[in-house]
């Protein structure tokens, strides 16, 4: 079979070289973007008088037919044709005859692949965005059900202060709003057309890159042909966004995993999201959460791979750049599945509010309340901290909770302590007092809920093109 670039070659490509250099086995995923790009290019060539309207019509119709064949799985992908671009172009010429050979006028695979991949990545960023928004909404929905549920908030994985489960879940909702916003920002730089840069130096044909960009729903065009064909910053940015999403997911996975351990018993895993053990009949394992935590490794690896591929590459296009596809495709599979699985799993989680409430009573979570109470009685904070430390030590010695110490014991530590201290030591009261902006108090949580609802309403119409 003759290569589209075969003119100057006397011998065929070695079979193992063909295997080694081909990308069609994975870049066929870009077929739709390749066809959209070629159709926009053909129409622009006709507008500019480089092709006739009839020729452009034949090309775009032929490309529609190819898209249909690909989607029906009747298209035969050929490794000898190297990549998605040459598979489609050679098939087009088979279908429509010599006019097919005019499609590539004023274009190189270098600007073509950059265009296709920018469209592909930005299309996927939109999907990830939608999934992040849905997940943030999922955390919000669970939070709304648990405004009254309290659990130990931790630092250093040690009981610290009581918080509402709503506050805990809303923390995750906010993470995914940031992820969604990062994706919008990344998409703006990704959805820029490099078409017209040609191989590296621009072209002599009277192309109109802005028209192509406009037709493809892109935000603008390249400034410099050499940069346009060699820039893959958008891939790095997308992989960084994905890495952050996966990192956020893995943090909640970790909470699910230890909350599901009977020693905590804070959450009941839905059967649909757990698996059993082949030897231990009692087991119900949080495999989805574990696997999701594990898959972060592959996404970080892809980011690292891409950073490494780009390092030290001289201008302009280098074949190394073909290695940009697989890390992204693999990341896309992982991130898309993880976000949507987490949304389903989150909705199906049931929280054991009793167990959470019981846990509040372990670990002196109301110690800060006692210190603040003493400050309220005019004692400097450092001193209050110290007195409270002694109260904790006393309670620990006696095997009781702070609120179980007698008033006389407390008075021995500080004579300004009165009967009203017991109301202050109440866990729900401790949460209820924290209504400063962003705190765990009910009014603060209500404000967060309405802020999130407003954010979600605005997130619907985010992409203008
Ligand atoms: N398959 C190639 C890639 O993904 C397309 C561009 C090839 N360009 C070239 N000059 N060989 O990078």
10-residue averages of pLDDT along the chain (465 residues): 81 92 98 98 98 98 98 97 98 98 98 98 98 98 98 96 98 98 97 98 97 98 98 98 98 97 95 84 90 98 98 98 98 98 97 97 95 96 97 97 97 96 96 97 98 94 78
Q: Is 156 a catalytic residue?
A: yes
pLDDT of residue 136: 98
Check if 113 has its Cβ closer than 6 Å to any atom of ligand 1: yes
**Alpha-carbon distances, residue 264 vs 21, 351, 353, 405 (angstroms):** 53, 11, 11, 26
Cis bond upstream, residue 316 (ω within 30): yes
Check if 232 has its Cβ closer than 6 Å to any atom of ligand 1: no
* Same topology between domain 110-149+164-359 and domain 361-459: no
- DSSP assignment of 84-144 equals HHHHHHHHHHHHHGGGGGGTTTT--HHHHHHHHHHHHHHHHHHHHHHHHHHHHHHHHHHHH
pLDDT of residue 7: 85
For residue 329, report the distance from its CA to the centre of ligand 1, in Å.
17
Check if 110 has its Cβ closer than 6 Å to any atom of ligand 1: yes
pLDDT of residue 1: 57
**Alpha-carbon distances, residue 122 vs 145, 161, 192 (angstroms):** 35, 42, 9
CATH number of 110-149+164-359: 1.20.200.10
Contact 81, 6 (CB under 8 A): no
Query: What DSSP state is assigned to residue 162?
Result: E
Closest-lying ligand 1 atom to the alpha carbon of residue 324: 4
pLDDT of residue 277: 78
Domain boundaries, the chain: 20-105, 110-149+164-359, 361-459
pLDDT of residue 4: 84
For residue 222, report the distance from its CA to the centre of ligand 1, in Å.
19
Catalytic residue among 156, 223, 278, 408: 156
Contact 127, 212 (CB under 8 A): no
Closest-lying ligand 1 atom to the alpha carbon of residue 84: 1
Check if 179 has its Cβ closer than 6 Å to any atom of ligand 1: no
Q: What's the rounded Cα separation, in Å, for the pair 253 and 140?
A: 17
Residue (of 209, 208, 163, 213) closest to 190 by Cα position: 213
Closest-lying ligand 1 atom to the alpha carbon of residue 23: 1
What are the residue ranges of helices labelled H in 157-286? 165-190, 209-215, 225-230, 233-260
Q: What's the rounded Cα separation, in Å, for the pair 407 and 71?
A: 77
For residue 73, report the distance from its CA to the centre of ligand 1, in Å.
24
pLDDT of residue 217: 97
Q: Is 336 a catalytic residue?
A: no
CATH number of 361-459: 1.10.40.30
Q: What's the rounded Cα separation, in Å, for the pair 229 and 320?
A: 13
Q: Whose CA is nearest to atom 12 of ligand 1?
A: 322
Q: What's the rounded Cα separation, in Å, for the pair 169 and 353?
A: 14
Q: How many CA atoms lie within 13 A of 275 on its CB side?
A: 8
CATH architecture of structural domain 20-105:
Orthogonal Bundle (1.10)
């Amino acid at each position: 079979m003759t290569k589209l670039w075969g003119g100057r070659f006397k011998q065929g490509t070695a079979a193992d070289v063909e295997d080694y250099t081909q990308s069609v086995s994975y870049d066929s995923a870009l077929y739709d973007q390749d066809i959209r790009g070629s159709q926009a290019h053909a129409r622009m060539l006709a507008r500019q008088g480089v092709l006739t309207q009839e020729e452009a019509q034949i090309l775009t119709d032929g490309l529609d037919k190819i898209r249909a064949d690909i989607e029906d799985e009747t298209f035969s992908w050929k490794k000898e044709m190297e990549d998605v671009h040459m598979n489609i172009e050679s098939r087009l010429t088979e279908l429509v005859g010599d006019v097919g050979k005019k499609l590539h006028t004023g274009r190189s695979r270098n600007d073509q692949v950059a265009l296709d991949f920018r469209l592909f990545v930005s299309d996927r960023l939109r999907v990830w965005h939608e999934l992040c928004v849905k997940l943030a909404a999922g955390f919000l929905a669970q939070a709304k059900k648990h405004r009254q549920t309290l659990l130990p908030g931790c630092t250093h994985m040690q009981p610290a202060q009581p918080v509402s489960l709503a506050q805990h879940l809303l923390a995750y909702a906010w993470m995914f709003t940031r992820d969604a916003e990062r994706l919008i920002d990344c998409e703006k730089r990704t959805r820029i057309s490099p078409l017209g840069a040609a191989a590296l130096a621009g072209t002599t044909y009277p192309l109109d890159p802005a028209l192509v960009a406009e037709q493809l729903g892109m935000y603008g065009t390249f400034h410099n042909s050499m940069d346009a064909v060699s820039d893959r910053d958008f891939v790095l940015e997308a992989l960084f966004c994905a890495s952050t999403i996966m990192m956020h997911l893995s943090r909640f996975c970790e909470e699910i995993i230890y909350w599901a351990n009977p020693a905590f018993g804070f959450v009941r895993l839905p059967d649909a999201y757990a698996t059993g053990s082949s030897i231990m009949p009692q087991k119900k394992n949080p495999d989805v959460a574990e696997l999701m935590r594990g898959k972060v490794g592959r996404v970080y690896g892809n980011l690292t791979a891409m950073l490494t591929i780009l390092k030290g590459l001289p201008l302009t296009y280098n074949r190394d750049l073909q290695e940009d596809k697989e890390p992204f495709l693999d990341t896309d599979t992982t991130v898309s599945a993880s976000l949507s699985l987490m949304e389903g799993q989150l909705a199906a989680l049931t929280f054991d509010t009793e167990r959470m409430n019981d846990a509040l009573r372990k670990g002196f979570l109301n110690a800060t309340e006692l210190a603040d109470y003493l400050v309220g009685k005019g004692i400097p904070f450092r001193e209050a901290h110290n007195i409270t430390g002694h109260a904790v030590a006393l309670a620990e010695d006696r095997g009781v909770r702070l609120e179980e110490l007698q008033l006389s014991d407390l008075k021995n530590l500080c004579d300004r302590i009165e009967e009203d201290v017991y109301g202050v030591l109440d866990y729900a009261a401790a949460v209820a007092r924290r209504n400063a902006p962003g705190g765990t108090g009910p009014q603060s949580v209500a404000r967060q809920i309405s802020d999130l609802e407003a954010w979600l309403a605005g997130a619907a119409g985010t992409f203008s093109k």
